[in-house]
Structure 1
């Protein structure tokens, strides 16, 4: 069976599964590069002809070309997913990609935002016009609700209620998030300014946060807002991205006493192990602060 034909069929399978555009592009690019390597370097064109050694050679080739361990692991996740599908479709008997040893990724402790830094970023925007108010509200919601970038951008107006937000997450899984009084105060002012700004302009009523032309805010547009917030707050030694606020939400939730299973549901994770990865970035002083109330001796003294 021609490898090119199988990859094409797999692409339609991914489309039917309603993967995000970003995921689809990533899968196409990775598999296209694999096919090119197998064609030019190994003279392999049939699915059944691919061996473990071909994939091992591809991993080595990508490493020698300067691909970082983390990127190599991400790339092979795509390849393994493709071969898993081939096994499910009974085109292959086993997933040979699983046999390829990959370099271990060094575990990095991420430097998360402090509460002061998040406060500075929220307050770096004012209420003097629609865009300032929108940016303030978006950063406040990311910090207080831990939404994914896509969830925030595609948040529907009808789903923002008095005290809750209905979030449409990955795989169209819905979950509710609580609107705290502090966040509600910001949203009320934002909604008032938004209504006034678009009073005589076109705007898409479906979406809660709108772009300059009154429509769905792009991923790049949101990223620019976040970068601007970091710049205004003078944050230079940390990654400033929409995901960083999701990480902040996770860490603060744990430090404030939420158990990991509840947090997993709030984040929209299907597996608790995904949530656990967020917690690997708790810095030592935060761990010590959290451990104090659970000290056995401290609790003995209370009796």
Structure 2
């Protein structure tokens, strides 16, 4: 990332042509912050007078204390550059010239393009956070967040992500001769791990706990926390068979830096590639929800939570296992229907007629 593109006024077409890898490169962040902070005023405000709109996006995406992961940064960059494209379409080349009304119009466009409330809420959330930061840093004099209306997500409209255990078993058995797919379905279904939490660890992250007589995989969750996921023996057996077919080591070795779940070349999978492939594999095997809807890899995380709850696991333990900071997330997003069924009092009311 060249420092000139952050400070020099940049025409918008040039902004769009910048490779994402340059915008994602945070190597210039500290240098830029040193420059803008060198002219701090007596109220503690930094001087962003020389920073372009692109530079402000760069500073916002990489700002310290947010702990944003690479994919999150990509999402933020995409949404903010799309907004700048909208600004340019209005004949303006500086987002500080945008009006509250024009922000409202942009949200209307998004609502027409993205009717799914969860998708829309994410986009509006990114813009709201960016506008708020610009205003608090006094880069803008207008509080553009006033032009955004929070998106209310209708929980009842979210697709039910319930999978019948027998249907899942049939899907897994469909891949009996394909340990690559079978082991992955078993891994996700018995651990509740996200797909990224399976493909990121190395084989050296797999350890055996003699006290508990169990295998554990050390992985990093979405929020950067360490999770020790229990890998059941029969699941590990399938994974080792897959590694064996690839010619990889199958003995636990703390020095083995090969991927825990490798691709056919013995390397780490890319998340998008494996997610797409697994979705197609599940479709091929006939795996659907109880409402006969298509499933994605994330649905197996829901299956895990629901199966654990049905087996008597406390909600707090399920939340902790899944890495949810709030039990509310587990209740509302993963166990909504399970709790409705559990709390239903119909069984207490009986008007059966007797002869």
Give me the TM-score of the superposition, normalised by structure 2. 0.68
Equivalent in the alignment of 1:251: 306
Aligned partners of 1:251 and 1:282 also within 8 Å: no
CA distance in 2, matches of 1:100, 1:234: 39
1:241 Cα offset (Å) = 1.2
User: 2:160 matched to 1:110?
Assistant: yes
Mapped contact 2:246–2:266 kept (Cα < 8 A): no
Hey, what does 2:129 align to over in structure 1?
81
Shift of 1:292: 7.7
Name structure 1 gaps, 5 residues minimum.
298-303
CA distance in 2, matches of 1:133, 1:42: 56
What is the CA RMSD across the aligned residues, in angstroms? 3.3
**What's the offset of the Cα at 1:175?**
1.7
Aligned residues: 282
* Structure whose residues are more often helix by fraction: 1
Cα distance between partner residues in 2 of 1:276 and 1:95: 35
Which residue number corresponds to residue 278 of structure 2?
225
**Greater Rg by CA:** 2
Report the Cα distance in structure 1 between the residues aligned to 2:151 and 2:167, rounded to whole angstroms: 35
Moved more, 211-220 or 272-281: 272-281
Structure 2: which 5+ residue stretches go unaligned? 1-48, 209-213, 250-255, 350-355
1:176 has 2:239 as partner: no
Query: Is 1:9 aligned to 2:62, yes or no?
Result: no
The equivalent position to 2:322 in structure 1, one of 267, 270, 280, is: 267
In structure 1, distance between residues paired with 2:310 and 2:83: 44
Q: Which runs of 4+ in 1 moved over 6 A?
A: none
In structure 2, C-alpha distance between the alignment counterparts of 1:88 and 1:273, rounded to whole Å: 30
Give the match for residue 120 of structure 1: 170
Rounded to whole Å, the distance in 2 between the matches of 1:8 and 1:279 is 35
Tell me the CA shift for residue 190 of structure 1: 2.9
SS state at 1:165 partner: strand
What TM-score, normalized by structure 1, do the two folds share?
Answer: 0.79
Q: Which moved more, 1:2-11 or 1:117-126?
A: 2-11
Q: Would you say the 8 A contact 2:86–2:106 is kept in 1?
A: yes
Does residue 104 of structure 2 align to residue 61 of structure 1? no
